[in-house]
Structure 1
Amino acid sequence: MEAWDAGSFGNDTASDWVYALEECADLSFIEDTLQGILDVGGRYMNALDGAEAVAAAEVVAWLLGRPTPVDSDSQCVAEWVASHPLAPPPALVGKALAVIHRIQGRRSELAELWEKDAEWFTAMADLHARLTL
């Protein structure tokens, strides 16, 4: 996974996921992505799946009206959210929160890759906060 930024969309895996999101008209793709991480349970979670799930959780925060500032990495997300004013149900928000907790924990390759970069953990804490406001 090539990453250029600690933000949710600052890697090529998340970018590819966003391009797939652009083909969707509802929340099913987001929910499927989040559920995929929850289905891993306590097994080791690979970084690619984790990066996609972070992107999905970030889109949930955006749909709640709590986005990060729009930049070149998130422009497509901003456009998708604007054209799909969907209200995420509480169960989906709960899944997003559970995923963010899981991704930062043990047995997460993504957390291992970022373990020496406080910026990533700060970004995850910010995302968690925006999902819980």
Structure 2
Amino acid sequence: MRTEEIGIFENETACDWLYKLEDREDLSLVMDSLDNVLDVEDDYLEAFEAEEGLAAAETVARLKGEWGMRDASTEIVDKWVEEYKITPTKNLIKKSLAVVARIQKAPSELLELQKDGKKFDEWKNVLDDLTERLKR
């Protein structure tokens, strides 16, 4: 079940997203992923879009120097951030914050899946941590 892991990059969708990021030298994938979540507005947000949006928001936090947890699941993004050293704009940070907030607002498939899982509080803590790092 996809709710067993709570880390931003601990799911298949985010792992696939990271492999796409490796092939980019700019923020186009990050911006597209954030926009895909925000373009849903109040319609139903699919889990895969939410997971890609969280991966993008986490990338923005790391570009700001707010690394958070670093482990094997973050190795690709960490290497990419260190290689390209792109400074995110205030607008990109604002979009990232909006994405994290939208994912936690119904209707959101990922929110539903996490609420049905055993680690909802831990997942919520991961998103709260991401939000705080984006705000710093």
Tell me which amino acid in the other structure corresponds to 1:128: T
For this pair of structures, how many residues does the alignment match? 133
Deviations 1:55-100 (A, max 9, x none): 0000000000001221110011110001010000111101000000
Distance 1:19 1:56 in 2: 13
Which residue number in structure 1 is paired with residue 84 of structure 2? 84
2:73 match: secondary structure: coil
2:94 match: secondary structure: helix
Are residue 120 (structure 1) and residue 123 (structure 2) matched? yes
1:45 match: secondary structure: coil
Percent identity between the two aligned chains: 41
Distance 1:125 1:67 in 2: 14
Give the TM-score taking structure 1 as reference length.
0.96
2:72 match: secondary structure: coil
Tell me which amino acid in the other structure corresponds to 2:22: E
Give the TM-score taking structure 2 as reference length.
0.94
- Spell out the pairing of 1:4-43 with structure 2 (5 A cutoff): 4-43=4-43
When the two chains are superposed, the root-mean-square deviation of aligned CA atoms in Å is: 1.2
Distance 1:69 1:119 in 2: 14
Partners of 1:4 and 1:10 within 8 A in 2 = no
Which residue number in structure 2 is paired with residue 46 of structure 1? 46
Are residue 129 (structure 1) and residue 132 (structure 2) matched? yes
Tell me which amino acid in the other structure corresponds to 1:111: L
Instruction: Quote the offset at 1:4 in angstroms.
Output: 4.8
Q: Which sections of structure 2, spanning at least 5 residues, go unmatched?
A: none
Distance 1:30 1:50 in 2: 13
Change in CA separation of 1:108 and 1:131 when aligned onto 2, cut-off 3 Å: same
Q: Which sections of structure 1, spanning at least 5 residues, go unmatched?
A: none
